[in-house]
Amino acid sequence: MDPSLPAWAQQWLEIAKLLGVATLFAGTLGAFVPEPLSDRQRAAYWLAGPAFGATWIVGFVLAWARSISTLSWWIVASMALSIVSINVVLFATAKDGRRSGTTALLAIAPLVLCVILMVLRP
């Protein structure tokens, strides 16, 4: 680990990022599972949206703390995949009738790939 931040601080950032990703997954699932549109919108706007922002901010701080270039291919790919996912979530909850298995898959699959890239850091 780079001494830009103490090891304990980096570990707390890792925990914060993990919680952000977990909340993002919860908000994404909540954007598709409940029946009423208002519940799905609440999950998208109050869980997935803020968690998306928090995950990105913590990720940038971790990259800085570890002297990892944010232009690494796996970081750029993760950013692109997460943008696709959050946009599908917002699309699906903007208007009733847009929730389907395909849109759910288009929202969840990119997040799974992001987690794989985040863990493996190829």
Reported as a single tens digit per residue, the pLDDT across 68-121 is 999 999 999 999 999 999 999 999 999 999 999 999 999 999 999 999 998 998
* Residues 6+ away with beta carbon under 8 Å from 76: 70
Structural domain count, the chain: 1
Lookup: tokens for 76: 């750029």
Residue 77 forms part of a structural domain = yes
Residue 3 reports pLDDT greater than 90:
no
27 domain residue, yes or no: yes
Domain presence at residue 1:
no
The reported pLDDT for the residue numbered 2 is 46
Dihedral (Cα; 44, 37, 111, 4), 10-degree rounding = 10
- 2 in any annotated domain: no
Q: Which domain holds residue 84?
A: 7-120
